[in-house]
Amino acid sequence: MPNNEIVRDLARERIDHLFGLATEYASLQPELSDRYVQMALKLSKRTRVRIPKHWKYFVCKSCHSFLYPGSRSRVRVSQERSPHVVVTCLVCGEKKRFILDKKSPPSK
Ligand SMILES: [Zn+2]
């Protein structure tokens, strides 16, 4: 449906914009960043537009906080088994892992 495509295109743009704002306010007003992220998540759910991968790294999947490195999250690289990045949410303690695959470097 073409109409639906337009809506999803707009949603994609808006999600990107909301994450941009979240980044801007991350160190000054983290609560505001969380609000922007929650708006983006809601929009993504409603329009079934996926959150771009490079933004997903910054969202805690447990409490949906905006995980800005240095203020809300701790980022560590581990060499155990296969090299991976561990991002710890400093709000709820949830950890997420990203495998570092040499064949497909993470976008951005
Ligand atoms: Zn969390």
- The pLDDT value recorded for residue 72 is 87
Which residues have beta carbons under 5 A from ligand 1 (an ion)?
Answer: 60, 62-63, 65, 89, 91-92, 94
- The pLDDT value recorded for residue 105 is 53
The residue whose two tokens read 């409603």 is: 46
- The pLDDT value recorded for residue 10 is 96
pTM given for the model? 0.81
Q: How far is the CA of 102 from the centre of ligand 1 (A)?
A: 28
Phi, psi of 86 (to 5 degrees): -110, 120
- The pLDDT value recorded for residue 91 is 93
Q: How far is the CA of 75 from the centre of ligand 1 (A)?
A: 13
Domain assignments of the chain as residue spans, ordered by start: 2-99
Which residue did the predictor score with more confidence, 37 or 101? Answer: 37
State pLDDT tens for residues 52-89: 988 998 899 999 999 988 778 999 999 888 899 999 99
Phi, psi of 6 (to 5 degrees): -65, -45
Structure tokens at 77: 């690289």
CA distance 66 to 73: 9
Which fold would CATH assign to domain 2-99? 1.20.5
